[in-house]
């Protein structure tokens, strides 16, 4: 795990947005844990992943029917069980540019034993208000007002869990309240990345940069197709759109190309999507 920088923290803190911007800017690789949700569900069907299997079998109503404290405990337990799959994926990426692994599942207690050093990670801790705004901006298919409230309270508990665990392991944290702009927060995380012990490994040339972005987009396609199929035509009649990373060979390119997953598939069949 020497080539991994871990970006964890509370839900709605901006981890995914920040990781995507910086991996494009610095020509690094990205491993978004939430982008592997359906891949992990498929792999966990056969094996000793009882919590993941139970979670997959729940309806949305069942999933959010418990108390916030129970939901937080369940999330942490499922994340612990899922760690085996995450580590397997990261090893499969092989040698190459630094990987920014990001996701709320990367709790410090789980990640610390696999970190190259305490400087190889950062945990973003949103205030309740900031986290709620971040989650509210995401596409939502269903959810009663009560389910939303329980999720919000669960997220507050998970942020506090991250804070306590990071302190126990001497890991860096940053409070995210919205007092700083997104660009300022991205620059702050960039500074942390550029100070990683041993230095960052970046894409060596434009061709490697292109391969990294194509692999990143392939993960997005798989996840979006799984989400679309899971939602069904009644809840999601059209293919979901996404800001896919530009697949050009220009080092440091931060551009995205927003289109539906089916449009991306059509265009990518003819070559790199730029």
The pLDDT value recorded for residue 140 is 58
| Range 86-101 average pLDDT | 96
pLDDT in tens, 119-146: 999 999 999 888 888 777 766 545 688 8
* Percentage of the residues of the chain whose pLDDT score is greater than 70: 97
Say what the pLDDT of residue 56 is. Answer: 84
Contact 243, 260 (CB under 8 A): no
Buried b (16+ CB within 10 A) or exposed e, 185-216: bbebbeebbeebeeebbbbeeeebbbbbbeeb
C-alpha triplet 245, 138, 75: angle, nearest 5° = 105
Cα 61 to Cα 209: distance, rounded to the nearest angstrom: 42
**pLDDT (0 to 100) of residue 230:** 87
pLDDT digits (tens, 9 = 90+) for 195-251: 999 999 999 999 999 999 999 999 999 999 999 998 899 889 999 999 999 999 999
Measured over the CA atoms of residue 86, residue 148, residue 77 and residue 51, the dihedral's sign is negative
In the chain, pLDDT over 90 holds for what percent of residues? 78
78: nearest Cα among 97, 99, 51: 51
DSSP per-residue string spanning 86-98: HHHHHHHH-SSSP
For the chain, give me the number of helices (H) and strands (E)?
A: 11, 7
Report, as an integer, the average pLDDT of 49-62.
86
Q: Check residue 138 and give its pLDDT.
A: 66
Average pLDDT score, the chain: 93
According to DSSP, residue 100 is labeled E
Q: Which of 170, 167, 128 is nearest to 149 (CA)?
A: 128
- In this predicted structure, what is the pLDDT of residue 143? 65
Architecture (CATH level 2) of domain 4-194: 3-Layer(aba) Sandwich (3.40)
Which tens digits make up the pLDDT trace of 9-49?
A: 999 999 999 999 999 999 999 999 999 999 999 998 887 89
Q: What is the pTM of this model?
A: 0.94
- Per-residue buried b or exposed e for 49-66, using 16+ beta carbons within 10 Å of the residue's own CB: beebeebbeeeeeeebee
Please give the DSSP secondary-structure letter assigned to residue 101: E
- Three-state DSSP state, 143: coil
Q: Where in the chain is the domain with CATH 3.40.50.300?
A: 4-194
- Predicted local confidence at residue 139, as pLDDT: 64
């Amino acid at each position: 795990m020497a080539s991994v920088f871990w970006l964890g923290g509370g839900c709605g803190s901006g981890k995914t947005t920040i990781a995507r911007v910086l991996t494009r800017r610095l020509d690094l690789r990205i491993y978004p844990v939430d982008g592997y949700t359906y891949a992990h569900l498929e792999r966990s069907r056969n094996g000793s992943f009882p919590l993941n299997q139970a979670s997959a079998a729940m309806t949305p109503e069942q999933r959010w029917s418990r108390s916030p404290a129970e939901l937080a405990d369940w999330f942490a337990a499922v994340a612990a069980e899922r760690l085996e799959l995450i580590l397997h994926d990261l090893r499969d990426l092989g040698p190459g540019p630094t990987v920014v692994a990001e996701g709320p599942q990367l709790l410090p207690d789980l990640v610390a034993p696999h970190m190259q050093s305490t400087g190889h990670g950062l945990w973003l801790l949103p205030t309740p208000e900031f986290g709620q705004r971040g989650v509210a901006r995401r596409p939502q298919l269903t959810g009663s007002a009560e389910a939303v409230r329980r999720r919000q309270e669960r997220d507050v508990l998970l942020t506090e869990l991250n804070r306590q665990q990071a302190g126990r392991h001497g890991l860096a944290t940053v409070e995210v309240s919205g007092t700083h702009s997104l660009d300022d927060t991205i620059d702050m995380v960039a500074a942390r990345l550029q100070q990683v012990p041993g230095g960052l490994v970046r894409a060596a040339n434009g061709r490697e940069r292109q391969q990294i972005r194509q692999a990143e987009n392939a993960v997005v396609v798989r996840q979006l197709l799984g989400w679309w199929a899971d939602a069904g035509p009644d809840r999601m009649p059209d293919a979901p759109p996404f800001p896919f990373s530009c697949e050009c060979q220009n080092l440091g390119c931060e551009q995205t190309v927003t289109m539906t997953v089916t449009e991306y598939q059509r265009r990518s069949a003819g070559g790199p999507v730029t």
